[in-house]
């Protein structure tokens, strides 16, 4: 065994001091404090441009539906009057909503559904972001 090996053996023989048992906990406490000063910022799944695009598509779809609806001259009331008796009367469901919107804002239920869809997407986006953060 040469001198280098001797020294290596002697140094390795020395007992090494260990850190205190709560060392890792103290480090992680400080890491969490650091994190709280600068928490991770998550990007929304649907960005601003995406929302504009969704709104645009919804508006175009609604306008298109309204246009087709008027050009075909098929009102919901008429559909309800011409269907067979054994089919569920859709007018019972749509008519009150239709009346509500017609009387209040003169907008069609399709627009309401579009608005509802946008709100639902926004809500899901928020919910998902929060879940990821946890």
Partner 1 sequence: MEKKTDEYYIREVLRGDSGSFSRLVEKYTNLAFSLSMKLLNQREDAEEAAQDAFIKAYNSLGSFKNGSTFKTWFFRIVYNTAISRLRARRGREVSITDLKITEWDIQSTENTIDKLNGDERQRYLRIGLERLDPEEKALLEMYYYDDFSMEEISSITSLTVSNVKVKIHRTRRRLLEELRYILKDELLTIL
Asked if residue 10 binds partner 1 (CB under 8 A), the reply is yes
113, 54 contact by CB (below 8 A)? no
Stretch that binds partner 1, among 32-40, 55-63, 93-101, 103-111 (CB under 8 A): 32-40
- Closest CB to partner 1 among residues 119, 132: 132
- Closest CB to partner 1 among residues 31, 117: 31
41: left (phi over 0), alpha (psi -120 to 50) or beta: beta
Give the Cα separation of 109 and 111 in Å (integer).
5
Stretch that binds partner 1, among 23-31, 69-77, 101-109, 112-120 (CB under 8 A): 23-31
């Amino acid at each position: 065994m040469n001198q280098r090996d001797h020294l290596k053996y002697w140094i390795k023989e020395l007992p090494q001091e260990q850190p205190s048992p709560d060392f890792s906990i103290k480090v992680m406490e400080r890491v969490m404090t650091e994190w709280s000063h600068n928490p991770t910022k998550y990007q929304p799944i649907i960005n601003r441009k995406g929302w504009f695009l969704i709104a645009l598509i919804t508006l175009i779809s609604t306008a298109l539906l309204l246009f087709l609806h008027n050009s075909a001259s098929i009102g919901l009331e008429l559909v309800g009057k011409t269907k067979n008796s054994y089919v569920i009367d859709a007018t019972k469901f749509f008519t009150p909503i239709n009346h509500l919107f017609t009387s209040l804002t003169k907008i069609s239920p399709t627009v309401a559904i579009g608005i509802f869809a946008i709100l639902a997407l926004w809500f899901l986006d928020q919910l998902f972001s929060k879940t990821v953060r946890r």
